[in-house]
Amino acid sequence: MLKIIPLGGLGEIGLNMMVIEYKETIFIIDAGLMFPEDYMLGVDIVIPDMEYLRDNKEKIKAIILTHAHEDHIGAITYLLREISVPVYATAFTLRLVENKLKEIDLHNTSPLRQVRPGESISIAEFDIEFIRVSHSTVDGVALAITTPVGLIVHTGDFKINHCFEESNVTDISRFARLGEEGVLALLSDSTNVEREGYTDSDQKVGEALAQIVSESDGRVIIALFASNIFRIQQIINIAIHTRRRVVFNGRSIEQTVEAAKELGYLKYPDGLIIDVKKVNSLHDSEVLIITTGSQGEPMSALARMATGFHKQINIRKGDSVILSSKSIPGNEKAISNIINNLYRRGARVVYDKIAPVHVSGHACQEELKLMISLTRPEYFIPIHGEYRHLVTHARLAEKLGIPRKHVLLAEDGNVVSFEKFSKGELADLKINKKDDKVILNGDKIEHLCDTVVGRISGSVNSGRVLIDGKGIGDVGRSVLKERRNLSEDGLVVVSMIIDEETGIVLYGPELISKGFVFGAETGYLVDDAQCVILEIVEEIEVGAQSRVDQIRSRLQKALKQYFFFTIRRRPVIVPIIIEV
């Protein structure tokens, strides 16, 4: 039995991680992170739950990365802390992974093995071919996985475009040949399935950026994702044409540009790039700054510019700021705040609602249809997207003629199994058997011959692990609930000292609040709350077992009820009770 087990990415945007398993061999496709959702207060990032991988550690033979975006490689350092196996990826992706591992001194623990589009590798029973696909970063690949039960195609993140850069064109001819060879299952990116038509071309974005830069008399500041190397090259070409010098600002973009330049993905003449410290020595019309912060990250270079805390660059009247990226769901408010701050400082701000300064790296409906038509899979599994995206993609596949029972709508943790049955095994199943025909998993098998049956056959433990600082997984639902309560209703600390022998309150009760104000108009609350506390102390007899614990428990409950009854708030109550 071949098993395909998504541990992340099917039910959310990001967190991509998938297990391919056959007998005693497992390899992993991608190890991505997800940015925290609104309710995850204080959380830095989210990674997939890797319990299944820990339980099957001895079976894991390799990790394969499809491209260099954080939602596909951001959790690699956490994964390689658990296992030490070879990591296969294309040159640019591998370089960024190497940088991550060096930062935490893990770069010598796992072999990093470079592959190129068109090459194949073997991992036990699997042969894996890397196929070039176009995306919003360089060196993206899809996977054609030859397994003992059939050929599986995993698209990775892709779009089908027509581009003058050969290294950024999806190899549709290879997908067509795979379709002729026979594809058992297609696993296809669902991120943009709700958008009709085709993805806009990068050339259109280049033309829009060129026009904005040429019309600007002052400095031009362009914020984008650091990994979007093709966009950076477009901007460099525009800078050369408009006789501007280029400044790269932001640690991630500086590292990424250095890697891309060394690998030959970025080309620019000597003298074009200047240090950010020299930016004020040039006339404004000679400056073009490429920076990070398009998602409104509070500590990013663009955010510091907009708030006046950047050491070298502060936004001023005459600057043109371009946000050349799409907002990640959940970041809309932060991006809006950045835009407002930029306007307050007199800048001209251009973003995707105003001009076509960004194009998605994910296929729209017509491209997704083309991928299905080219590969002609027997089974279809939508991947990479929230549940609504998966459902919409599944319906799209059905409209193209894939039988409903052959569209497997899986979520994180589901086990999608493909099992080959021989003639004898099918005959022995006796599932609705009649007249030498079998109905198995809803599919009529007309003749008792060798066939592969795909179905969702169970589930494994999966979920999300929250990373808070150096803590991994120690923030759970109860902690998030407390943080939410603290943010909404504040904190009240009750402190008092009690005589152990007599039970008399020697000090207090004193109430201190944070985020829960005892104002002059509600001063009676303190007096009444103290009365509530003292009544509880008197009610519990001296010498009672665990008297302090009883007081603490009843005090929390009584004060919560009192505050909610009087002012409709539920502050977190922290009793500090000392017996002497």
User: Nearest to residue 228, comparing CAs of 35, 357, 342, 338?
Assistant: 357
Burial of 323 (0-12, 13-18, 19+ CB in 10 A): buried
In this structure, is the dihedral angle defined by the CA atoms of residues 142, 144, 149 and 150, taken in order, positive or negative?
positive
Name the burial class of residue 30, with classes exposed (0-12), middle (13-18) and buried (19+) by CB atoms within 10 angstroms of its CB.
Answer: buried
DSSP for 113-146, written as a single string:
EE--TT-EEEETTEEEEEEE-B-SSSS-EEEEEE
Q: State the DSSP string of 347-370.
A: -EEE-TTTS-----SS--HHHHHH
Q: Which two tokens stand for residue 438?
A: 């079998």
Alpha helix stretches (DSSP H) within 3-148 = 51-55, 70-73, 76-82, 91-103
The pair of three-digit structure tokens given for residue 464, joined into one six-digit string: 């999300």
d(CA 43, CA 472) in angstroms, rounded, equals: 10
Q: Do 121 and 115 touch, CB atoms closer than 8 A? A: yes
| Active-site residue (options: 49, 139, 189, 412) | 189
Task: Assess contact for 98 and 74: CB atoms under 8 A.
Answer: no
Q: How far apart are CA 410 and CA 398, in angstroms?
A: 15
Which residue, chain included where needed, has tokens 């017996």? 579
Which tokens in the block code for residue 580?
């002497």
Three-class SS state of 180: helix
Cβ count within 10 A of residue 6: 27
Whose tokens are 């071309």? That residue is 201
Cβ(206)–Cβ(168) below 8 Å:
no
Cis peptide before 356 (omega within 30 of 0): no
Q: Are 341 and 335 in contact (CB under 8 A)?
A: no
- Phi, psi for residue 55 in degrees, rounded to 5: -70, -25
Please tell me which residue in 72, 358, 362, 393 is annotated as part of the active site: 362
362 given a catalytic annotation: yes
Whether 189 is catalytic: yes
- Does residue 181 contact residue 173 with C-beta atoms inside 8 Å? no
Cα end-to-end distance, the chain, whole Å: 67
Decide: helix, strand or coil at residue 268: coil
With residue 506 as reference, give the H or E element that holds it: strand 505-514
Which residues carry out catalysis?
189, 362
